[in-house]
Amino acid sequence: MTADASILIPSDSVDFDALREDFPIFNSGSETLHYLDSAASSQKPSCVIDAVAQCYRSQYAPVHRGLYPLAESASVAYEKARQTLANFINAASADEIIFTRSATEAINLVASGWAGPALKAGDEIWVSQMEHHSNYLPWQRVCRNRGASLRVIPLDSSGQLDLDKAAGLFANSTRLIAITHVSNVLGIVNPVEKIIHLAAQKSIPVLIDAAQSVGHMPVDVQALKCDFLVASAHKMCGPGGIGLLYGKKQRLAQTEPLLLGGGMVDLVQSETSLWSEIPARFEAGSPNLAGALGFAVAADYIQGIGRQAIEKRERELAAIAFEVLSEIGGVGIYGPENSEYRSGILSFHIDGIHPHDIAQIAGEHGVAIRAGHHCCQPLMQHLNTSSTARASFSFYNNEEDIAALVMAIQQTKKVLGG
Judged by beta carbon, residue 132 or residue 373, the one nearer other proteins is: 373
Q: CB of residue 221 vs other proteins: minimum separation in angstroms?
A: 35
Whole-number Å distance between alpha carbons of 139 and 111: 6
Q: Residues 272, 127: contact at Cβ < 8 Å?
A: no
Q: Residues 317, 402: contact at Cβ < 8 Å?
A: yes
Q: CB of residue 411 vs other proteins: minimum separation in angstroms?
A: 8
Judged by beta carbon, residue 191 or residue 372, the one nearer other proteins is: 372
Q: CB of residue 140 vs other proteins: minimum separation in angstroms?
A: 17
Judged by beta carbon, residue 326 or residue 386, the one nearer other proteins is: 386
Whole-number Å distance between alpha carbons of 189 and 223: 17
Residue 243 has phi, psi (to 5 degrees) of -145, -175
- Whole-angstrom CA distances from 296 to 218, 238, 292, 315, 355 are 16, 8, 6, 25, 36
- Note the residues at the interface with other proteins (CB under 8 A): 353-354, 356-357, 360-361, 364, 372-373, 377, 380, 385-387, 411, 415-416, 418
Q: CB of residue 385 vs other proteins: minimum separation in angstroms?
A: 7
Q: Residues 368, 37: contact at Cβ < 8 Å?
A: yes
Choosing from 55, 226, 237, 375, the catalytic residue is: 375
Whole-number Å distance between alpha carbons of 222 and 90: 6
Judged by beta carbon, residue 262 or residue 352, the one nearer other proteins is: 352
Judged by beta carbon, residue 351 or residue 364, the one nearer other proteins is: 364
CA-based nearest residue to 157, from 383, 414, 349: 383
Q: Where are the alpha helices (DSSP H) in 167-207?
A: 192-200
- Whole-angstrom CA distances from 268 to 134, 211, 273, 275, 283 are 33, 36, 4, 9, 16
Asked if 55 is an active-site residue, the reply is no
DSSP 417: -
Judged by beta carbon, residue 181 or residue 349, the one nearer other proteins is: 349
Q: CB of residue 32 vs other proteins: minimum separation in angstroms?
A: 18
Whole-number Å distance between alpha carbons of 234 and 231: 9
Q: CB of residue 365 vs other proteins: minimum separation in angstroms?
A: 8
CA-based nearest residue to 125, from 184, 72, 171: 171
Q: CB of residue 240 vs other proteins: minimum separation in angstroms?
A: 19
CA-based nearest residue to 181, from 210, 161, 158: 210
Judged by beta carbon, residue 156 or residue 364, the one nearer other proteins is: 364
- Give the orientation angle of helix 289-305 with respect to helix 46-54, to 10 degrees: 150
Q: Residues 320, 399: contact at Cβ < 8 Å?
A: yes
Judged by beta carbon, residue 23 or residue 334, the one nearer other proteins is: 334
Residue 100 has phi, psi (to 5 degrees) of -125, 180
Q: CB-based contacts of 349: which residues, under 8 Å, 6+ apart?
A: 331, 332, 334, 355, 385, 388, 389
Q: CB of residue 357 vs other proteins: minimum separation in angstroms?
A: 5
Beta strands in 168-301 (DSSP E): 174-180, 206-209, 228-232, 243-247, 265-268, 273-275
Q: Provide the annotated active-site residues.
A: 375
